[in-house]
């Protein structure tokens, strides 16, 4: 069944209150979020290689939609839902996952796939209620490939790496689009918005910007599933995904843990085992 | 408006500005991003035919992303306040588009309403805007819908346009522009009138989205503070404020005090109405507690409130908010849609 048909049936049978999916965008290379409340509206849903957004954001952010929510979910987006279930932000029964097979997405008119798609190992979501189409074969997880982009940065001498990041952060205007687009950045009060005491300076100067990106990366350690939304929405083209990738790599090397794989697993930073690596505790 | 023929090409004109010791700000690629920055060599600039518009508008040169406004310190337990004098030098911004230049006369009104913002005004006086007319547009451009054209001179000190043969002409559209022109008469030649008007600007105007019915929009907004349409938009909006931060006319700011030991600075930072903390009262009450109210504020401010107060639209159709929106919540679609159906799409 096409995702439209699935959405229509779900709304007709009232199994869900709304379906969140994609519809045609107003400009080339973009798709628009569509929140359908009636079966008729479901006809407008589409799914193609421009369906970049991680719609799991609508489970945690901003506007509370009536539950249960039908959601268009790609493989990478499903990892987010796993994370949200692990962290008790979403109940499994409140989300009806319309699984979508995805061979990579793009925002570029020349069709070049996003970086994350080149090393994707979840073309078919691992978690769904209904899958549109037949599951497609998967590429195995390859650590060396996965972190290739990061290795280029890590190979830089420390001064050069510092200069690279300071130049990148220099562009930051502190719009917090990275936070707002992140489905796992769901704190009701963000640390950067706290004023008494003020932990992180909100001004877009070197100290403020460094502190902000630093703390966000730490807060996502072992949690970020690498959907890449922060980097996609950053109009200043700051390679934010690299920061999260660095944390993911550390967590993988220390604990052999990959975020967004197992909803029953305990995230390593909330868990303790006797055999945990302790070399960094002095 | 006096018209001068440039005896040089665009790049050479920039070069002459630099050689004569002007501080020049122009679109340049910085860390993979097209931004206005001060340049030291003409090799750093991106030529106008290679961009539609910069990622950020030119507003940050009058209204910086962050700037100190007051200096304070504690001496012997006494608070001492000192005015902070910004270092402002004369500079030339070249290569901005008519939509960016047109934003300044719009926000001049708010920065001079009741309180006159000395910081903004000082920079405004010291900055010369050399605008370049648009020979191309993309799907997000809608300047003609809000009263601007690809070759409008509003807000510019000098507007550069090409004739059909590809020669540049400078239209000195302000006193400041006239003064700059007088310093460069060796490369400029005054002409009476441009005879071969280049059709490319008309063609560009035809590429941008068709006009909005501004009066109808205003009328709808006047009557629909409460309307289910706002819930639909609010439900889609992520509240990321990319629109406000990239907008050449959005001008809201936050005031923060930053202190180290006994010395500190009070800073004025860009802020946006899309954030929940923007309207959070110290009592804990928040009049714009949900995103639909915040999204409504954005549309109302642009097309109604600013119009009520200053008789101007707080939008120049640059299209940045459309290009940057992560969920493609397109303000043009929204305001053209509400007048037709109450809810667009």
Chain A nearest C-alpha distance from B268 (Å): 8
Quote the pLDDT of residue B210. 82
Asked if the Cβ–Cβ distance from A180 to B241 is below 8 Å, we say yes
Give the separation between CA A189 and CA B286, rounded to whole angstroms.
14
Mutate to test the interface with B, among A52, A170, A203 (most CBs of B within 10 A): A203
Q: Which residues of B touch A204 (CB under 8 A)?
A: 65-66, 269-270
From the number of C-beta atoms within 10 Å of its C-beta (0-12, 13-18, 19+), residue B213 rates as middle
Give the separation between CA A101 and CA A72, rounded to whole angstroms.
10
Chain B nearest C-alpha distance from A68 (Å): 15
Residue of B319, B164, B144, B145 lying closest to B243 (CA atoms): B319
Quote the pLDDT of residue A145. 72
Give the separation between CA B32 and CA B326, rounded to whole angstroms.
19
Mutate to test the interface with B, among A174, A187, A228 (most CBs of B within 10 A): A174
B33 touches chain A (CB under 8 A): yes
Chain B nearest C-alpha distance from A107 (Å): 11
First to last CA, chain B: 44
Q: Which residues of B touch A25 (CB under 8 A)?
A: 328
Quote the pLDDT of residue A62. 60
3-state secondary structure of B95: strand
Counting every residue written for chain B, the total comes to 345
Query: And the tokens for B191?
Result: 């002409």
Which H, E and C letters describe chain A, residue by residue?
CCHHHHHHHHHHCCCCCEEEEEEECCCCCCEEEEEECCCCHHHHCECCCCCCCCCCHHHHCCCCCCCCEEEEECHHHHHHHHHHHHCCCCCHHHEEEEEECCCCCCCCCCCCCCHHHHCCCCCCCCCCCEEECCCCCCCCCCHHHHCHHHHHHHCCCHHHHHHHHHHHHHCCCCCCHHHHCCCCCCCCCCHHHCCCCCCCCCCCCHHHHHHHHHHHHHHCCCCCCCCCHHHHHCCCCCCHHHHHHHHHHHHHHHHCCCCCCCCCCCCHHHCCCCCCCCCCCC
Span A252-271, average pLDDT: 91
**From A27, A202, A236, residue closest to B55, measured CB to CB:** A236
CB atoms within 10 A of CB A234: 25
What's B290's DSSP letter? Answer: S
Could you tell me the maximum CA-CA distance found in chain B, to the nearest angstrom? Answer: 72
Examine the predicted complex and report whether its ipTM is higher than 0.90.
yes
- Residues 64 through 83 of chain B touching chain A, CB cutoff 8 Å: 65-66
Residue range(s) defining the domain that contains residue B135: 2-341
Question: How many contacts does A have with B, using Cβ atoms within 8 A?
Answer: 129
Beta-bridge partners for B172: B2, B158
Span A129-144, average pLDDT: 82
Percent of chain B at pLDDT > 90 equals 88
Nearest Cα residue in chain A from B257: A201
CA atoms within 13 A on the CB side of A197: 3
Asked if the Cβ–Cβ distance from A35 to B235 is below 8 Å, we say yes
Beta-bridge partners for A22: A33, A46
Based on its alpha-carbon atoms, the radius of gyration of chain B, rounded to whole angstroms, reads 22
**From A62, A170, A198, residue closest to B238, measured CB to CB:** A62
Please say whether the beta carbons of A22 and A32 come within 8 A.
yes
**From A28, A177, A205, residue closest to B139, measured CB to CB:** A28
Q: Which residues of A touch B236 (CB under 8 A)?
A: 32-33, 35
Please say whether the beta carbons of B181 and B175 come within 8 A.
no
Give the separation between CA A80 and CA A75, rounded to whole angstroms.
9
Interface of A with B (CB under 8 A): 23, 25-28, 30-35, 53, 57-58, 61-63, 65, 167-168, 170-171, 173-177, 180-181, 193, 195, 198, 201-205, 208, 229, 232-233, 235-238
Nearest Cα residue in chain B from A36: B232
Q: Which residues of B touch A233 (CB under 8 A)?
A: 240, 242, 324, 326
First to last CA, chain A: 57
Please say whether the beta carbons of B136 and B198 come within 8 A.
no
Give the separation between CA B252 and CA B235, rounded to whole angstroms.
24
Does the pLDDT value for residue B343 go beyond 60?
Answer: no
Measured at the CA of B145, the angle between CA B144 and CA B150, to 5 degrees, comes to: 15
pLDDT digits (tens, 9 = 90+) for A172-230: 999 999 999 999 999 988 999 988 888 999 999 999 999 999 999 999 999 999 999 99
Mutate to test the interface with B, among A170, A173, A185 (most CBs of B within 10 A): A173
Q: Which residues of B touch A198 (CB under 8 A)?
A: 256, 258
Give the CA distances from residue B285 to residues B235, B279, B280, B298, in Å, rounded to whole numbers and listed in that order: 21, 9, 6, 20
Please say whether the beta carbons of A90 and A65 come within 8 A.
no
Counting every residue written for chain A, the total comes to 282
B234 touches chain A (CB under 8 A): yes
Q: Where are the domains of chain A?
A: 3-132, 143-270
Beta-bridge partners for B169: B5, B161
Burial of A128-164, coded b for 16+ CB within 10 Å and e otherwise, reads: bbebbeeeeeeeeeeeeebbebbeebeeeeeeeeeee
Confidence band of B345 (pLDDT split at 50, 70, 90) = very low
Q: What is the mean pLDDT of chain B?
A: 94
- Residues 314 through 343 of chain B touching chain A, CB cutoff 8 Å: 322-324, 326-330, 332-333
Q: How far is CA A274 from the centre of its chain?
A: 31
Strands (E), B201-299: 253-260, 263-270
**From B35, B269, B272, residue closest to A204, measured CB to CB:** B269
Please say whether the beta carbons of B67 and B268 come within 8 A.
yes
Nearest Cα residue in chain B from A51: B327
Query: And the tokens for A248?
Result: 């993911």
From the number of C-beta atoms within 10 Å of its C-beta (0-12, 13-18, 19+), residue A265 rates as middle
Quote the pLDDT of residue A73. 98
pLDDT digits (tens, 9 = 90+) for B131-187: 999 999 999 999 999 999 999 999 999 999 999 999 999 999 999 999 999 999 899
Q: Which residues of A touch B267 (CB under 8 A)?
A: 203
Quote the pLDDT of residue B342. 57
Number of domains in chain B: 1
Query: And the tokens for B320?
Result: 């940045």
Quote the pLDDT of residue A120. 87
pLDDT digits (tens, 9 = 90+) for B266-314: 999 999 999 999 999 999 999 999 999 999 999 999 999 999 999 999 9
Output the CA torsion A82→A87→A92→A95 (10° steps). -80
Does the pLDDT value for residue A232 go beyond 80?
Answer: yes
Asked if the Cβ–Cβ distance from B239 to A201 is below 8 Å, we say no
Quote the pLDDT of residue B344. 45
Span B222-235, average pLDDT: 93
Nearest Cα residue in chain B from A24: B328
* Phi, then psi, of B126 in degrees rounded to 5: -90, 0
- Beta carbons within 8 Å of A4's beta carbon, 6+ residues apart: A42, A43, A45, A46
């Amino acid at each position: 069944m096409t995702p439209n048909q699935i959405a229509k049936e779900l709304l007709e049978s009232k199994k869900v209150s709304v379906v969140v999916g994609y519809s045609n965008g107003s400009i080339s290379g973009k798709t628009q979020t569509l929140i359908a409340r009636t079966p008729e509206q479901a006809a407008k849903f589409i799914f193609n290689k421009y369906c970049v957004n991680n719609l799991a954001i609508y489970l945690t952010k901003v506007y509370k939609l009536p539950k249960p929510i039908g959601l268009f979910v790609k493989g990478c987006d499903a990892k987010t839902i796993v994370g949200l279930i692990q962290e008790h932000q979403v109940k499994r029964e409140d989300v009806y996952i319309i699984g979508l097979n995805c061979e990579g997405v793009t925002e570029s008119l020349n069709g070049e796939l996003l970086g994350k798609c080149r090393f994707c190992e979840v073309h078919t979501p691992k978690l769904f209620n209904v899958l549109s189409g037949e599951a497609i074969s998967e590429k195995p997880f390859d650590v060396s490939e996965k972190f290739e982009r990061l290795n280029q940065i890590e190979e830089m001498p420390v001064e050069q790496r510092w200069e690279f990041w300071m130049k990148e952060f220099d562009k930051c205007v502190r719009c917090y689009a990275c936070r707002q687009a992140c489905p796992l950045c769901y704190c009701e009060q963000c640390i950067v918005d706290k004023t008494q005491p003020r932990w992180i300076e909100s001004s877009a100067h070197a100290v403020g910007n460094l502190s902000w990106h630093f703390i966000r990366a730490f807060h996502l350690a072992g949690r970020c599933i690498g959907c890449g939304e922060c980097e996609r929405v950053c109009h200043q083209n700051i390679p934010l995904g690299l920061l999260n990738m660095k944390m993911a790599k550390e967590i993988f090397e220390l604990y052999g843990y990959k975020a967004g794989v197992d909803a029953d697993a305990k995230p390593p930073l909330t868990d303790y085992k006797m055999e945990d690596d302790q070399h960094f505790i002095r | 408006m006096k018209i001068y023929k440039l005896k040089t090409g665009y790049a050479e004109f920039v070069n002459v500005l630099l050689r004569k010791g002007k501080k020049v700000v122009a679109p340049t690629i910085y860390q993979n991003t097209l931004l206005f920055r001060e340049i030291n060599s003409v090799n750093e600039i991106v030529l106008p035919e290679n961009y539609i518009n910069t990622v950020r508008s030119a507003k940050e040169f009058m209204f910086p992303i962050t700037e100190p406004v007051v200096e304070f310190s504690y001496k012997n337990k006494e608070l001492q306040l000192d005015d902070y004098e910004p270092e402002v030098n004369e500079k030339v911004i070249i290569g901005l588009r008519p939509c960016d230049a047109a934003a300044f006369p719009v926000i001049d009104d708010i920065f001079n309403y009741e309180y006159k913002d000395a910081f903004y005004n000082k920079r405004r006086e010291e900055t010369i805007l050399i605008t370049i007319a648009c020979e191309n547009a993309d799907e997000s451009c809608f300047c003609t819908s809000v009263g601007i054209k690809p070759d409008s001179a509003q807000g510019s000190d000098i507007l550069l346009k090409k004739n059909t043969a590809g020669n540049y002409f400078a239209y000195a559209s302000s006193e400041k522009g006239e003064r700059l022109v007088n310093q460069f008469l060796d490369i400029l030649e005054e002409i009476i009138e441009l005879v071969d008007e280049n059709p490319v600007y008309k063609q560009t105007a035809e590429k941008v989205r068709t006009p909005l019915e501004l009066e109808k929009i205003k009328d709808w907004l006047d009557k629909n503070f409460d309307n289910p349409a706002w819930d639909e938009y609010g439900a889609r909006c992520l509240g990321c404020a990319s629109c406000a931060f990239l907008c050449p006319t959005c001008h809201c700011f936050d005031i923060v005090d930053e202190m180290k030991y006994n010395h500190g600075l009070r800073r004025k930072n860009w802020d946006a109405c899309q954030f929940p903390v923007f309207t959070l009262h110290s009592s804990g009450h928040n009049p714009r507690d949900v995103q639909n109210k915040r999204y409504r504020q954005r549309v109302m401010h642009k097309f109604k409130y600013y119009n009520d107060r200053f008789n101007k639209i707080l939008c120049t159709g640059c299209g940045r908010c459309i290009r940057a929106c992560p969920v493609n919540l397109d303000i043009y679609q929204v305001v053209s849609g509400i007048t037709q159906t109450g809810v667009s799409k």
